[in-house]
Amino acid sequence: MALLLILLPVAFIFLAYSLYERLRFKLPPGPRPKPVVGNIYDIKPVRFKCYAEWSKLYGPIFSVYFGSQLNTVVNTAELAKEVLKDNDQQLADRYRSRPSARMSRNGQDLIWADYGPHYVKVRKLCNLELFTPKRLEGLRPLREDEVTAMVDSIFKDCTKPENKGKSLLMRNYLGSVAFNNITRLTFGKRFMNSEGVVDEQGQEFKGIVSNGIRIGAKLSVADHIPWLRWMFVGENEDLDKHNARRDKLTRMIMEEHTLARQKSGNTKQHFVDALLTLQKQYELSDDTVIGLLWDMITAGMDTTTISVEWAMAELVKNPRVQQKAQEELDRVIGSDRIMTEADFAKLPYLQCVAKEALRLHPPTPLMLPHRANANVKIGGYDIPKGSIVHVNVWAIARDPAAWKNPLEFRPERFLEEDVDIKGHDYRLLPFGAGRRICPGAQLALNLVTSMLGHLLHHFTWSPPPGVSPEEIDLEESPGTVTYMRTPLQAVATPRLPAHLYNRVPVEL
């Protein structure tokens, strides 16, 4: 009875408010929201696919309610341009769920910051200091070390007599490259030794990452129904404990770097050194420095693994494409040396393979949620201030109105038409576009292309014994980032002389 007395007025307020909004604004159409919960229980787990289906029912722009929170989803390149170019500034705030708000201390980092003076300052720091072509080039040996370490470890595993003809779980190898690359880039640390054993600090780091994912993944009902939040106080404690653990490890690493710099007088290329030396000039709080370092980890680790895993699945499924990429590598590199990033310019087909994989399988298919900081119009509809806006880049990249045979994995399409992948062509937006475009896009492209190039130059890849290429499962798992539902298994057969499989380690 008491619950009913609470819920009835709540339902009444919700109905009155949605009626008021409907009369005041011309909102995009969409599924009818239920009182209190809105459409939360109508959304299927793989959200971007559900939205792509809904766009056929309700049109390319539609409304969907999380509780009473209005969300707008756009599903065509034209509408994406209206969001990310014509109304870029008004739609550049972020929606922060409770976990992301608490973990980012209300947007004191970059990813979760609203558009404003803090964001502009931190973004400028990223563009002018962290992701410059010079720093990317300076960090190249580190990436090449990790990619060759991957080749070395795949070679050792697939040539063991007991593994002959057996398939490998690709995600293990790709995940190690992404993990080592990001920890070295941000913290200047390789937590993993040459045998693949992770040290104590690395175990703590891994624990923090997986705990962060666990907390972030809980799409708690209370997040969208503010008046139920009091029921979830325990979650706040969890989040505070998580933050304390993350800050402790990060401060320890920051201190190690400060001591090393004082001792040697040298500033290294890693982000932690860069941020500590720029902290005063840019007036960054410790929370912002820690927030930025963890932003790079959360945004840059899984996305890389995911991109390469999908690309390899497509290459195993499409032996014609695999062979064509290998022929290019053999022609340009030959078989008495290994590929480096300096070879990219002479490997256009390889670059198209990476692009085509990112088209069909964008790791963040709905980008990250933007929020309107003013009333705007998109596609002739009102988007009231405070609405959350999602761009369904997955649906756009498969729109038959924008692409010929969109579901076909055909890298040649990019040889026939040069389509920009870094925010200038609204049909292809794996990194987003506009002022919130991914700052790590070039770094990610370099690493993904390098991993693919090495995997293809060194090995031929085929499905596990008894599995035909057609049987490889290309379904997605739910989540903000889109892993393959069934992790890819593939058989590696070496194709170069044995001495070219050794890791090329560097100390940076």
- Among the residue ranges 204-212, 296-304, 341-349, 411-419, the one whose residues contact ligand HEM (CB under 6 A): 296-304
For the bound state, the minimum distance from the C-beta of residue 375 to ligand HEM, rounded and expressed in Å, comes to 20
Residue 450 CA to its chain's centroid (Å): 18
Binding to ligand HEM (CB under 6 A) within 325-384 occurs at: 363-364, 367-368
Q: Among candidates 127, 442, 118, 104, which has minimal Cα distance to 292?
A: 104
Question: CA 250, 96, 101: angle at the middle one, nearest 5?
Answer: 40
* C-alpha dihedral (206, 210, 211, 215), degrees to nearest 10: 160
- Output the smallest distance, CB 313 to ligand HEM, in A: 15
CB of 228 to ligand HEM, least distance (A): 28
List residues forming the annotated binding site: 438
* 443 binds ligand HEM per the rule CB under 6 A: yes
Question: DSSP 3-state assignment of 162?
Answer: helix
The reply on whether position 444 binds ligand HEM by CB under 6 A is yes
Q: Give binding residues for heme as ranges.
A: 438
List the one residue out of 443, 383, 500, 498 whose CA is nearest residue 28. Answer: 383
450 binds ligand HEM (CB under 6 A): no
Spatial distance between the Cα atoms of 222 and 343, rounded to a whole number of angstroms: 51
Does position 432 interact with ligand HEM (CB under 6 A)? The reply is: yes
Give 235 or 476: the residue with its C-beta nearer to ligand HEM: 476
| Distance in angstroms (rounded) separating the CA atoms of residues 296 and 305 | 14
Contact stretch for ligand HEM (CB under 6 A) within 45-53, 320-328, 346-354, 424-432: 424-432
Beta-carbon count within 10 A of 435 CB: 16
Contact 141, 450 (CB under 8 A): no
Stretch that binds ligand HEM, among 70-78, 156-164, 232-240, 432-440 (CB under 6 A): 432-440
Judged by beta carbon, residue 188 or residue 440, the one nearer ligand HEM is 440
Stretch that binds ligand HEM, among 204-212, 246-254, 257-265, 295-303 (CB under 6 A): 295-303
Q: Strand, coil or helix: what is 265?
A: coil
* CB-nearest residue to ligand HEM: 440
Q: Dihedrals φ, ψ of 353, to 5°?
A: -60, -45
Report the nearest approach of ligand HEM to the CB of residue 444 (Å).
Answer: 3
Choice between 58 and 191, CB closer to ligand HEM: 191
Quick one: which of 208, 187, 354 has its CA closest to 254? 187
Contact 248, 226 (CB under 8 A): no
- CA dist 239 and 242 (Å) reads 5
Q: What does the per-residue mask of binding to ligand HEM show for 199-238, with x meaning CB under 6 A?
A: ----------------------------------------
Q: What is the CA radius of gyration of the chain?
A: 24
In angstroms, rounded to a whole number, what is the distance separating the alpha carbons of residues 274 and 189? Answer: 14
Question: Helix, strand or coil for residue 63?
Answer: strand
Nearest to 452 by CA among 335, 298, 313: 313
Which residue of 36, 77, 111, 376 would you call a contact of ligand HEM, by CB under 6 A? 111
- Residues forming beta bridges with residue 74, ordered by sequence position: 61, 391
Q: Which of 411, 440, 453, 463 binds ligand HEM (CB under 6 A)?
A: 440
User: Using the rule CB under 6 A, which residue among 98, 190, 436, 454 binds ligand HEM?
Assistant: 436
User: Can residue 88 be called a binding residue for ligand HEM (CB under 6 A)?
Assistant: no
* Site membership for ligand HEM, residue 58 (CB under 6 A): no
Interaction between residue 147 and ligand HEM (CB under 6 A) = no
- Quote the Cα angle for 143-145-146, to 5°: 65
Residue count at the site for ligand HEM (CB under 6 A)? 25
- Give least dist CB 94 to ligand HEM, A: 7
CB of residue 12 to ligand HEM, shortest distance in Å: 36
Look up residue 12 and give its DSSP letter.
H
Q: Could you list the residues that contact ligand HEM (CB under 6 A)?
A: 110-111, 123, 295-296, 299-300, 303-304, 307, 363-364, 367-368, 430-432, 436-440, 443-444, 448
